[in-house]
Structure 1
Amino acid sequence: MKILSTLLFAMLVITSCGNKPNAEKLSGEFHIISLDQNSELPENLTITFDAEAKKISGFSGCNNFFGSFTVTDGVLQFGQMGSTRKMCAGDANKIETEILQMLSKVNTFSFENDTLNLKADDAILLKAKK
């Protein structure tokens, strides 16, 4: 019985450590390479996470954006987001709107090699590389 209890405890510890991504792994600047399956994006789109300060910032094509985030048990939540207010035309405005809309839908993330996947449940909304 003692061995069984020890094994059950070990299994519980191992599964609780599981594959839930943590905030520290998010730290740093990432270059957005895909947005809802669209990989025809300008190269200057970025998203930066500061895990210690729990802040997010980036460049979305025309304006800079910023806000806060939390990661709890693998769930990623963004707080109130803000941005600068430059006037943009054409594709820059469209891409910026898409990025900010996608970020509002994100609730989890994963890593595939060096690629960050921001997801709504299992659907990948945004991919970015360090």
Structure 2
Amino acid sequence: MKTTIAATTALLLTACSGGLKVVESDLQHHHWNLAAINGVAVNAELNSDLEIGEHFTINGMAGCNRFFGSATLEQNRLQADPLASTKMACDPEAQKVETAVLQTLSEGATVNNEGRQLELVGEQYTLTYQLADRMN
């Protein structure tokens, strides 16, 4: 009985650690368009997006400013290193989106990846991205 429990535990731990690697490969080399914040649709004309490249370099449009930097993925949590961004003034609608995106990436967020939909669940905001047809 103890052997069965130990073997089952080992298999579960292996599956969990293997699952994290699948998430990494599913996220890299993709272009994601922001669709919603906290379940509320985002104006598509803002073109808010996120690209995750090799070695988890990240870049995109937050609201009205471009951002770039790197991130880590540990235990299904995406955490951006300090991000650099342009510093243009935003209109109020774009500023709300920008604040949600930059705050969520900087503070870290739990990743839920369901193929063509990526959800980043942070402390205050849940960002829902849709996979673009191709990375620009």
TM-score interval (norm. to shorter): 0.7 to 0.9
**Is 1:106 equivalent to 2:108 in the alignment?**
yes
Match of 1:119 among 115, 118, 121: 121
Structure 1 regions of 5+ residues with no counterpart? none
CA distance change for structure 1 residues 102 and 36 in 2, over 3 Å: closer, same or farther? Answer: farther
Shift of 1:10: 5.4
Aligned residues, how many? 126
1:129 maps to what in 2? Answer: 130
Structure 1 contact 117–124 (Cα < 8 Å) conserved: no
Secondary structure class of the residue paired with 1:32: strand
Counterpart amino acid of residue 116 in structure 2: D
Amino acid at match of 1:129: Q
* TM-score when normalising by structure 2: 0.75
Q: Which amino acid aligns with 1:47?
A: L
Instruction: Supply the distance in 1 between the matched residues of 2:74 and 2:117 (Cα, whole angstroms).
Output: 21
How far did 1:85 drift?
1.6
Residue identity opposite 1:13 in structure 2: L
In 1, Cα distance between equivalents of 2:82 and 2:10: 36
Measure the CA separation in 2 of the matches of 1:23 and 1:129. 17
Aligned to 1:45: 48
Q: Which residue of 2 aligns with 1:24?
A: 25
Shift of 1:118: 0.5
Greater C-alpha radius of gyration: 1
Which structure 2 residues correspond to residues 48-87 of structure 1 after superposition, within 5 A?
A: 48-50=51-53, 52-87=54-89
Shift of 1:31: 0.4
Give the helix-richer structure, 1 or 2.
2
> 2 CA distance for matches of 1:54 and 1:32?
18
Query: What are the Cα deviations for residues 55-84 of structure 1, in whole angstroms up to 9, with x where unaligned?
Result: 110012211011111112323221011101
Unmatched segments (≥5 aa) in structure 2: 132-136
In the alignment, the residues of structure 2 paired with residue 86 and residue 119 of structure 1 have an alpha-carbon distance, to the nearest angstrom, of 26
Q: Percent identity?
A: 27
